[in-house]
């Protein structure tokens, strides 16, 4: 089984592909209790013209169609940046039991500023989960991978429109 940092580096690679494919630079992976990677997901906001096309919410939706809630409770969602409140809700409802993230949403805000593509809430995922009835485990941020997450975002924000025109 890999370390949390190793899985986060894989999620960073997914975020690089997301950016290369014309989307916002975020990535997530789903790992089962045995350490096997079940799914990878990049953001699809720009290319799919989907305002809720975050990697975490798309991955959670895909996973909920393929696996039972009992199975997902023993899985871990690794993501480059702390899940926003929308994605945290999806993770909660899909019953994914553990979340591991590389960079906090607050640190992401320092990079994105007031870019309209990323109107960040200051609502940590731990706060969202604490209002529910499930004890979802959260680990992060991981300073050992934050620079790698940050590098994928360099030069991206402030230069994009909300959606590409057809």
Question: Quick check: 152 and 12 in contact, CB under 8 A?
Answer: yes
Catalytic hit among 42, 56, 82, 105: 56
Main-chain dihedrals φ then ψ at residue 67, nearest 5 degrees = -125, 155
Q: Is 146 one of the annotated active-site residues of the chain?
A: no
Sign of the Cα torsion 151, 149, 40, 3 reads: positive
- What is the layout of strands, in order, in the sheet containing 137-139? 37-42, 27-31, 76-81, 98-103, 137-139
Could you give the residue numbers annotated as active site?
56
């Amino acid at each position: 089984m890999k370390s949390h940092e190793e899985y986060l580096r894989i999620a960073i690679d997914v975020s690089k592909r997301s950016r290369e494919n014309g989307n916002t630079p975020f990535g997530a992976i789903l790992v089962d209790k045995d350490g096997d990677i079940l799914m990878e997901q990049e953001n699809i906001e720009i290319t799919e013209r989907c305002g809720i096309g975050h990697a975490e919410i798309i991955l959670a939706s895909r996973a909920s169609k393929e696996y039972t809630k009992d199975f997902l409770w023993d899985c871990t969602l690794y993501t480059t940046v702390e899940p926003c409140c929308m994605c945290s809700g999806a993770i909660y409802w899909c019953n994914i039991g553990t979340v591991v993230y590389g960079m906090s949403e607050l640190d992401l805000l320092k990079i994105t500023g007031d870019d309209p593509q990323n109107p960040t809430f200051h609502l940590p995922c731990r706060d969202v989960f604490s209002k529910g009835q499930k004890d979802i485990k959260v680990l992060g941020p991981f300073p050992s991978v934050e620079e790698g997450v940050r590098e994928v975002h360099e030069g991206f924000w402030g230069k994009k429109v909300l959606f590409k025109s057809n």
